[in-house]
Structure 1
């Protein structure tokens, strides 16, 4: 019986026994949620607003993990924030979900699912294809973020506050993430030879 090719980069390096594999999924989701939280604390000075590295981490993890593990990682991240752990950029707690970033948090989950889905179909092996998927994910994050801002602060603020300040940095992060995972595949393939 032939072994099916790995659907994600993580699956290509994960243990093969079922018990060890499921334990590794739990460790990977925990590690991923911590990485997303840390990336949210890394602030890069940029005009007109500073940028965090959260979307970069989310796109890299989603492409490396595939859809199911990416969504599990984001669910764990959201749970950690909801119970009060300071994993979000400005803290944590259930009340945080009523703040101005709620739309972006929802967008993170949807974008991770999209990028993970694309990775499951092999698009993570090609930087240009992965960049296109990451751009779609970026558009989803910005659209949901702007929609929430429009709901909370008014439609006139949606584009000015919710989209405009983030376009340039988010495109750069989508491109960086699109370069990292295909390079990871090349490294993994070298070790299999």
Structure 2
């Protein structure tokens, strides 16, 4: 294989999963990205409502959804999707976990879950960054990247919550109860993406 061919193969292999569905043309590409982002914000809203009540911050499937969106969309579209989700919430749409029961809009976002909402953006960015570089083909490497994303989420959530209720309570109610469950979600996401790529290769859809 020529050097140019090797370079092209590496470029294709490092694209996120969503690249297989995006048109090349500017207007059609943007429309497709917008449609995917809006659909993903709906998924985020549904996953946020799937929860177990534990305390100031409840357990939901949203972390898994954020990881998979970042991994599937790549960093740029993944971050844009999470920012769109936050914008929907800031406008008063009941897309967050405790809405509308615990408030709406910016007032809710400034509450106990505010740091975790910011952490979701960081989590999607890290997962997307890893997918952009082809790490989502390898479950071990991808799990390492997703662990970094999980730490970023927890650090931002803890720091925010500690400012509201103190460090001890923030750790007890906002971090500790979620560690095991979130590790399971990290492992699941790290396995699902390589499986998805392998399935696409077997169907002849992937260009790897």
Equivalent in the alignment of 2:137: 125
| Equivalent residue number for residue 5 of structure 1 | 12
Sort the Cα spacing of 1:150 and 1:39 in 2 relative to 1 into closer, same or farther, 3 A: same
Task: State how many pairs are aligned.
Answer: 192
Matched residues in 1 for 2:23 and 2:74: separation?
16
Match of 2:203, SS state, is helix
Verify the 8 A CA contact 1:8 1:66 in the aligned structure 2: yes
CA RMSD of aligned residues (A): 2.1
Q: Secondary structure at the match of 1:85?
A: coil
What SS does structure 2 have at the residue aligned with 1:88?
coil
For residues 27 and 182 of structure 1, the distance between their equivalents in structure 2, rounded to whole angstroms, comes to: 25
Question: Normalization by structure 1: what TM-score?
Answer: 0.91
Q: Is the 8 A contact 1:104 1:145 kept in 2?
A: yes
Match of 2:85 in 1: 77
The answer to which of 151-160 and 100-109 deviates more is 151-160
Show structure 1 runs of 5+ residues with no match: none
How far has the Cα of 1:143 moved from its partner?
A: 1.2
Establish whether residue 65 from structure 1 lines up as the match of residue 62 from structure 2.
Answer: no
Measured against aligned partners, the alpha-carbon deviations of 1:107-127 in whole angstroms (never above 9, x if no partner) come to 111111011011101111111
State the Cα deviation string for residues 138-162 of structure 1 (Å, max 9, x = none).
1111111111111111122121122
Paired residue secondary structure (1:87)? coil
Which one has a bigger Cα radius of gyration? 2
Taking the aligned partners of 2:129 and 2:194, their CA distance within structure 1 comes to 15
Pair 1:189–1:14, CA change in 2 (3 A): farther
Report the CA distance shift for 1:125/1:44 in structure 2 as closer, same or farther (over 3 A). Answer: farther
Give me the TM-score of the superposition, normalised by structure 2: 0.85
- Please give the alpha-carbon distance, in whole angstroms, between the structure 2 residues aligned to 1:129 and 1:32: 25
**Structure 1 residue 80, shift from structure 2 partner:** 0.4
Are the counterparts in 2 of residues 62 and 116 from structure 1 also a CA contact under 8 Å? Answer: yes
Which residue in 1 is equivalent to 2:34? Answer: 26
SS of structure 1 residue aligned to 2:12:
coil
After the TM superposition, which residues 175-186 of structure 1 pair with which residues of structure 2 at under 5 Å, given as runs? 175-186=187-198
